[in-house]
Amino acid sequence: MSAHLKQLKEKFIHDAFVADGLGAVIDGASYGFARVSMEIQPRHCNALGIPMGGAIFTLADFAFAVAANQGRDVVTQASQITFLKAAQGKRLIAEARQVKDGKRVCFYEVKVNDDLGTEVAFVTINGYVVSP
């Protein structure tokens, strides 16, 4: 594991809601990019037995946080999620990519797939740079 990835994992381990509650992990990251994932467990599922929208959105928002918070502090300003299809696999994977980087505002897209390649959701996020 690279020193950069180790440092990010140490930083985000303090996000108890994501680390403990969701069970999400950081799989890889570089400035403006992050890949995070979580094993789908019964606690993440709704009455239909599929992952709840809130669990999917939280994973996407976490991917954004890891991608955007490298060397500066960024919070979500606005976001939009479109659910595409129910997850078929056992794991959800969210990849965040920077589209636009500015002094105070940034823009990201996040794609959420399952481990079988099913496109589960597409998210866009405007971030506000709290401290550059």
For the chain, give every domain's residue range: 3-131
pTM higher than 0.85: yes
Closest CA to 124 of 115, 116, 106: 106
Residue 58 near residue 83, CB atoms below 8 Å: no
Residue 80 near residue 16, CB atoms below 8 Å: no
Region 21-49: what's the mean pLDDT? 95
Q: pLDDT at residue 1 above 70?
A: no
Burial level of 28, CB count in 10 A (0-12/13-18/19+)? middle
pLDDT range class, residue 60, cuts 50, 70, 90? very high
Number of H helices, E strands in the chain: 3, 6
The topology under which CATH files domain 3-131 is: Thiol Ester Dehydrase; Chain A (3.10.129)
Q: pLDDT at residue 13 above 80?
A: no
pLDDT of 96-130, one tens digit each? Answer: 999 999 999 999 999 999 999 999 999 999 999 99
Region 32-46: what's the mean pLDDT? 96
